[in-house]
Homo-oligomer: A and B are copies of this chain.
């Protein structure tokens, strides 16, 4: 808390990143302001440009960081999940993470800034999900699996965005709530097993 302990900030770069993540989660990446960010970190606006060429490169860097973490989490998840449950685990993780860090999700999956990292790191998880789906539909050919993958991805994408913006919640009836909806959607996306009923009995009895 010692204001200005040193003239040099020490690790301004990391401080900027940390703070930016906070700001983004509060205001959305569109509203990240360089001047507000640097001020929040206790430094002149110009100081940021010692570490990032410009605002865009900061945002790209944040997206990449986030994708790296995301990738690591999925790897860890796969490592501790049996092959038959991997697809389900990824689907659940995807939506859970999107709701836990909604604005980061948007930066990663719904913005230009996320594009580069998405097409590299994101691709890996994409194919991981494909492997996992293939386990569940062993008789399907490549095209069938890939189609299922794209369908699943699109469904997750749409569900996450609509939930993040609160555009589904207003339509809940009865006992519906976000968690039950997510469960139902995941069940609908998983091949085989549970049949095609959309909403099987949720609890014993």
Contact = CB atoms under 8 A, between A and B. Distances in A.
A191 B185 contact: no
Interface stretch (A3-11, A46-54, A55-63, A140-148): A140-148
A146 B158 contact: no
A188 interface: yes
A142 B174 contact: yes
A180 B181 CA distance: 28
A153 B162 contact: yes
Total copies of this chain within the assembly? 2
Contact of A173 (B110, B143, B153, B158): B143
A104 interface: no
Among A146, A154, A161, A174, chain B packs the most CB atoms within 10 A around the CB of A154
Interface string A121-164: 00000100000000000001011101111110111111101100
Interface in A158-205: 158-159, 161-162, 168, 171-176, 180-181, 184-185, 188, 191, 195-196, 198-199
Given A143-B199, A154-B162, A196-B196, 16 more contacts: A142-B173, A143-B175, A144-B199, A146-B171, A146-B176, A147-B181, A147-B198, A147-B199, A150-B181, A151-B155, A151-B159, A154-B159, A157-B161, A157-B162, A158-B159, A191-B198
